[in-house]
Amino acid sequence: MTTYLLNWGVFFEELPGGGEEYWQLILYGVGWTLAVSACAWVIALIVGSIIGTIRTTTNPWLVRFGNGWVELFRNVPLLVQMFLWYFVIPEFIPPLKGWIVRAEPVHAQFLSAVLCLGLFTSARIAEQVRAGIQSLPRGQRAAGMALGLTQPQVYRYVLLPMGFRIIIPPLTSETMNLIKNSSVALTIGLAELTFRARELGEYTFNFFEAFTAATLIYIVIAMTANRVMARIEKNVAVPGYIAGGGGK
């Protein structure tokens, strides 16, 4: 009976090519995971806020556009969206296609992954921003208007500051989803954490050690993101309005 032999030292063994050790491979993977997640998060937050906000305006065309945006990105699997960004969309934009052919593969992979994850997550954030704004008492908007503020001013000074505070907890879980979803980028060849863990397993057959390392790193990243968001939530809490304090 063949048994599986654990070898935790595998991370400090050299790659077949020499020079580097396996732990460095994993570290590069972590770097790409964080880079993709961070860039996508910025896009998701900006686009998601805009789309979420226009869905609460009184302009029916803006509302329709916002709803369409959310439905579009929510009803196609992330994997398929990844393929669309990487394989399909460049075919319709010749200059982009030309750049991809000449550029390093990793640049095209990174760009596709960031756009895909950013817009995919933007639809989810838009839904939360909309819910956050709509959960505010109707009197807030009316009071802003009564003070003589224009609609943009009402959003800028009254609705958005409160709405964003309300949605910090769901935004936290969406941030963690984004970090987890970044692993789908391995399907277009981006060497992020899960990709590197599998690669390590394939080189050395130490799959168990490799996947354990990746699992632990994902847990650490998720917990860190959770702490950071909890800190933000605490710092921006409005006294007497939303139960302040981190942790759920």
Stretch that binds another protein, among 43-51, 156-164, 190-198, 240-248 (CB under 8 A): 190-198
Query: For 14, phi and psi rounded to 5 degrees?
Result: -85, 150
Asked whether position 37 contacts another protein by CB under 8 A, the answer is: no
Closest approach of Cβ 227 to another protein, in Å?
14
Stretch that binds another protein, among 41-49, 53-61, 71-79, 125-133 (CB under 8 A): 71-79
Work out the end-to-end distance of the chain between its first and last CA atoms, rounded to an integer number of angstroms.
48
The DSSP output letter for 86 is: I
Angle ∠(101,120,163) on CA atoms, nearest 5: 140
In terms of CB distance, is 42 or 72 closer to another protein? 72
In terms of CB distance, is 141 or 199 closer to another protein? 199
Asked whether position 122 contacts another protein by CB under 8 A, the answer is: no
Closest approach of Cβ 93 to another protein, in Å?
10
Query: Quick one: which of 6, 38, 42, 88 contacts another protein (CB under 8 A)?
Result: 88
Q: How far apart are CA 237 and CA 230, in angstroms?
A: 10
In terms of CB distance, is 127 or 155 closer to another protein? 127
In terms of CB distance, is 65 or 208 closer to another protein? 208
Listed in sequence order, the DSSP H helices in the chain are: 22-54, 60-74, 78-83, 89-92, 94-102, 105-134, 138-146, 151-153, 160-166, 168-181, 193-204, 207-236
Question: Shortest CA distance to 111 belongs to which of 73, 82, 131?
Answer: 82
Query: Quick one: which of 15, 35, 62, 222 contacts another protein (CB under 8 A)?
Result: 222
In the numeric block, the tokens 């057959």 are attached to 205
Closest approach of Cβ 122 to another protein, in Å?
17
Asked whether position 228 contacts another protein by CB under 8 A, the answer is: no
Stretch that binds another protein, among 24-32, 125-133, 174-182, 238-246 (CB under 8 A): 174-182
Query: Quick one: which of 46, 84, 228, 238 contacts another protein (CB under 8 A)?
Result: 84
Give Cβ neighbours of residue 117 (< 8 Å, ≥ 6 apart): 36, 37, 40, 44, 78, 178, 181, 182, 184, 185
Asked if 191 contacts 183 with a C-beta cutoff of 8 angstroms, the reply is no
Give Cβ neighbours of residue 179 (< 8 Å, ≥ 6 apart): 33, 37, 218, 221, 222, 225
Judged by the rule CB under 8 A, the positions of this chain that interact with another protein are: 1-2, 4, 71-72, 74-81, 83-84, 87-88, 91-92, 176, 180-184, 186-187, 194, 197-198, 201, 207-208, 211, 214-215, 218-219, 222
